[in-house]
Chains A and B, each alone.
Chain A
């Protein structure tokens, strides 16, 4: 959970995944995108819990799509990134870049 305006690491990742998926996607698609790129395994529950938190901060909005056209098919929830979410992503990126500016871990390590 980031301080006001800043994103926690996993929030950052979830929002970026949503952006990569075109700004709107179902929970499972977001999970799959993260799972594809992450180096460690990710829990679906963690994705949904984070999405629910982002929803509360109004960084994303959720809507129920039409039920899948099969017997017993239920409405699926899809998430869309909001302007506030995009702004938060920007802030977090700039913040990180300020910190990364001039830092070269590789050369540091060699210098020692």
Chain B
């Protein structure tokens, strides 16, 4: 017996006309071979027969003009017919065609645009060596509600010294700094990083070299521009290099003044390097213990402000690392109960930290553009179906809104400036009532007080508030545009379907009016049918919104995700739109002359 799998394969391959003869001969030969040479040899032969059947079968089908050729010709012919019909339709109903093309274009364009962001933010791996081993390390205190707080310098130094789970661990804190070029001073973002920062990330510099652990030994500087320890060395961002240094290929070795210290540039980072944030312009080495040692003091243990990144030991799982860090945190809490009681250590994946804040809105946005595209396709398909078979179909998409005011207020401490002088600060001014704020006047005032003081980014408070919400506004605007297009499309679709249904029923409507139906009755009948479709769509949309609304949890602002009034208003609005879309065809239906109608078929 031939194994059924191979026999089945052969049978499927063979052209019907040759099937029985070839199958029979194959079977007989197989059995002969099996009896003579054994099953294994027979099977080997059978497999070669199946392989050998592929080419000849295909050629036979093509030569005999049997199935595929006819199919190909048929497909080409009907494609031509489809194209001709599409062109005719576009000429006859240009407005509708333009709307459909625009909507499909917007849907496809939106989907591609959003996907390219999703791809860059969520799907691409981070540009660091073995990024899956990189973690963020935090101090956490469940009692106080701080789950991910930056550690204090003293705790970080202890983690570094007693580390058993990391190949490397590094800390940073970002600061606003003053950069002085020949003609002006401006405000930039600098990250002070501990010695191992660049080595453990494993990024290659674009130019020059990375800051090394040796550069950090003893390095720190005070607000008066006194730098201590090794030579002041700085790495610059790609952005800084191209905008402030004119992308100078000889930039390495140049000296720049930042926070009154003269730094020598050692390297330029690639544009993809975005730690701790994408807007960091400069990185300089900082020895966390040096300042305290210089005054024979101790680094602070209760002022928690550092960012920490670490590389897990090869093969060590994060949960195993977490267990050992729990033990370390318990030990530190025993040694320093005043500052560390109740504080634990927590590791999270670096990738999650980088993308989490963006993940939810992006997911909702891509869902919305997907829905829009789906609605567009469903509507076009429904219309074509209605046109060809006089069946009816309508798509209704639920309203999707998106507001994100992100986080609740965080506990903060405010200190008087005199107590904590800081080289860069934000100033809030209130102009006298009736006086328009003038940037030039403000600049003049500051320069009069201190010519070295840069003034930058003078903005109205209202704009500043708007800017903090820019991303949310952008996403909300996009969603509103998408929802609007979907609504427009739904209207057009409803109109098209009802109008088509009416034109198919001219005869029936004519008979009705010949039998005495008043035109208002015909109108009501047609609109009611449209509303019936709309109602079905609304009910389905409500059901879908109940299923999908959880994805909006936490993104809604001042609207509860189970808000009944919103649903009611949206549903009612859609029904009004449906009624309006049905009214035009209804009016045409009621104007049908009985005589014309009876002649129509």
Whole-angstrom distance between the alpha carbons of A41 and B26 in the complex? 14
Supposing A27-B21, A49-B60 touch, asked if A43 and B45 sit within 8 A by C-beta, the answer is no
Whether A43 and B25, one on each chain, are in contact in the complex, defined by CB atoms closer than 8 angstroms, is: no
Closest residue to A29 on the B side, CB-wise?
A: B25
What are the residues of chain B within 8 A of A27 when measuring CB–CB? 21-22, 25
Whole-angstrom distance between the alpha carbons of A107 and B8 in the complex? 51
Specify which of A1, A28, A48 is in contact with B18 (CB 8 Å cutoff).
A48
Specify which of B20, B24, B49, B64 is in contact with A43 (CB 8 Å cutoff).
B49
Whether B60 and A44, one on each chain, are in contact in the complex, defined by CB atoms closer than 8 angstroms, is: no
What are the residues of chain B within 8 A of A53 when measuring CB–CB? 60, 63
Binds A, one of B51-59, B229-237, B423-431, B573-581: B51-59
What are the residues of chain B within 8 A of A46 when measuring CB–CB? 52-53, 55-56
Whole-angstrom distance between the alpha carbons of A53 and B17 in the complex? 12
Whole-angstrom distance between the alpha carbons of A77 and B18 in the complex? 11
Whole-angstrom distance between the alpha carbons of A75 and B15 in the complex? 19
Whole-angstrom distance between the alpha carbons of A76 and B15 in the complex? 18
Whole-angstrom distance between the alpha carbons of A42 and B48 in the complex? 8
The number of A-B residue pairs with CB atoms under 8 Å apart is 62
Supposing A27-B25, A28-B28, A52-B60 touch, asked if A45 and B13 sit within 8 A by C-beta, the answer is yes
- Report if B14 contacts A (CB, 8 A): yes
- Report if B29 contacts A (CB, 8 A): yes
Whole-angstrom distance between the alpha carbons of A99 and B393 in the complex? 71
Whole-angstrom distance between the alpha carbons of A48 and B13 in the complex? 13
Interface size class of A (residues with CB under 8 A): 10 to 19
B487 to chain A, nearest CB (A): 59
B71 to chain A, nearest CB (A): 20
Whether A28 and B60, one on each chain, are in contact in the complex, defined by CB atoms closer than 8 angstroms, is: no
Specify which of B29, B57, B63 is in contact with A45 (CB 8 Å cutoff).
B57
Supposing A28-B29, A52-B60 touch, asked if A41 and B18 sit within 8 A by C-beta, the answer is no
Whole-angstrom distance between the alpha carbons of A94 and B1 in the complex? 45
- Report if A31 contacts B (CB, 8 A): yes
Whether B21 and A43, one on each chain, are in contact in the complex, defined by CB atoms closer than 8 angstroms, is: no
- A contacts with B: majority SS: helix
- Report if A91 contacts B (CB, 8 A): no
Contact with B along A70-96 (1 / 0, CB 8 A): 000010110000000000000000000
Total interface residues on B, CB under 8 Å, equals 27
What are the residues of chain B within 8 A of A44 when measuring CB–CB? 22, 25-26, 29, 49, 53
Whole-angstrom distance between the alpha carbons of A49 and B24 in the complex? 15
Closest residue to B32 on the A side, CB-wise?
A: A32
Contact with A along B424-454 (1 / 0, CB 8 A): 0000000000000000000000000000000
What are the residues of chain B within 8 A of A41 when measuring CB–CB? 45, 48, 52
Closest residue to A53 on the B side, CB-wise?
A: B63
Contact with A along B3-34 (1 / 0, CB 8 A): 00000001001110110111011101100000
Instruction: Find residues 560-594 in chain B having any chain A CB closer than 8 Å to their own CB.
Output: none
Instruction: Find residues 55-90 in chain B having any chain A CB closer than 8 Å to their own CB.
Output: 55-57, 59-60, 63-64
Whole-angstrom distance between the alpha carbons of A43 and B48 in the complex? 7
Instruction: Find residues 35-51 in chain A having any chain B CB closer than 8 Å to their own CB.
Output: 41-46, 48-50
Specify which of B26, B45, B48, B56 is in contact with A49 (CB 8 Å cutoff).
B56
Contact with B along A47-70 (1 / 0, CB 8 A): 011101100000000000000000
What are the residues of chain A within 8 A of B25 when measuring CB–CB? 27-28, 31, 44, 48
Whole-angstrom distance between the alpha carbons of A64 and B53 in the complex? 24
Whether A49 and B57, one on each chain, are in contact in the complex, defined by CB atoms closer than 8 angstroms, is: yes
Most B CB within 10 A of own CB, among A45, A48, A49, A52: A45
Closest residue to A62 on the B side, CB-wise?
A: B21
Supposing A28-B28, A52-B60 touch, asked if A45 and B22 sit within 8 A by C-beta, the answer is yes
A30 to chain B, nearest CB (A): 10
Whether A48 and B63, one on each chain, are in contact in the complex, defined by CB atoms closer than 8 angstroms, is: no
What are the residues of chain A within 8 A of B56 when measuring CB–CB? 43, 45-46, 49-50
Instruction: Find residues 1-48 in chain A having any chain B CB closer than 8 Å to their own CB.
Output: 1, 27-28, 31-32, 41-46, 48
Most A CB within 10 A of own CB, among B28, B52, B59: B52
Whole-angstrom distance between the alpha carbons of A42 and B52 in the complex? 7
Supposing A28-B29, A44-B26, A45-B14 touch, asked if A77 and B52 sit within 8 A by C-beta, the answer is no
What are the residues of chain B within 8 A of A76 when measuring CB–CB? 21, 24
What are the residues of chain A within 8 A of B17 when measuring CB–CB? 52
Whole-angstrom distance between the alpha carbons of A50 and B52 in the complex? 13
Whole-angstrom distance between the alpha carbons of A101 and B49 in the complex? 37
Most B CB within 10 A of own CB, among A1, A27, A49, A74: A49
Most A CB within 10 A of own CB, among B17, B56, B63: B56
Whole-angstrom distance between the alpha carbons of A41 and B53 in the complex? 12
What are the residues of chain A within 8 A of B13 when measuring CB–CB? 45
B107 to chain A, nearest CB (A): 48
Supposing A52-B18, A52-B60, A53-B63 touch, asked if A45 and B28 sit within 8 A by C-beta, the answer is no
A51 to chain B, nearest CB (A): 9
Whole-angstrom distance between the alpha carbons of A45 and B22 in the complex? 6
What are the residues of chain B within 8 A of A28 when measuring CB–CB? 25, 28-29
Whether B52 and A43, one on each chain, are in contact in the complex, defined by CB atoms closer than 8 angstroms, is: yes
What are the residues of chain A within 8 A of B15 when measuring CB–CB? 49
Specify which of A1, A43, A50 is in contact with B53 (CB 8 Å cutoff).
A43
B124 to chain A, nearest CB (A): 48
A21 to chain B, nearest CB (A): 15
What are the residues of chain B within 8 A of A42 when measuring CB–CB? 52
Whether A45 and B24, one on each chain, are in contact in the complex, defined by CB atoms closer than 8 angstroms, is: no
What are the residues of chain A within 8 A of B53 when measuring CB–CB? 43-46
Closest residue to A32 on the B side, CB-wise?
A: B29
B391 to chain A, nearest CB (A): 45
B310 to chain A, nearest CB (A): 62
What are the residues of chain B within 8 A of A1 when measuring CB–CB? 63
Whether A48 and B22, one on each chain, are in contact in the complex, defined by CB atoms closer than 8 angstroms, is: yes
A-B contacts, 14 of them at CB < 8 A, read: A41-B48, A42-B52, A43-B52, A43-B53, A44-B26, A44-B29, A45-B10, A45-B18, A46-B53, A48-B21, A48-B25, A49-B59, A52-B18, A74-B24
The 8 closest A-B pairs by CB, nearest first: A43-B52, A45-B53, A49-B56, A28-B25, A46-B56, A49-B60, A48-B18, A45-B56
Instruction: Beyond A28-B28, A45-B18, list 19 extra A-B contacts (CB 8 Å).
Output: A27-B22, A27-B25, A28-B25, A31-B25, A41-B45, A43-B49, A43-B56, A45-B49, A45-B52, A45-B56, A46-B56, A48-B18, A48-B21, A49-B59, A49-B60, A52-B17, A52-B60, A53-B60, A74-B24
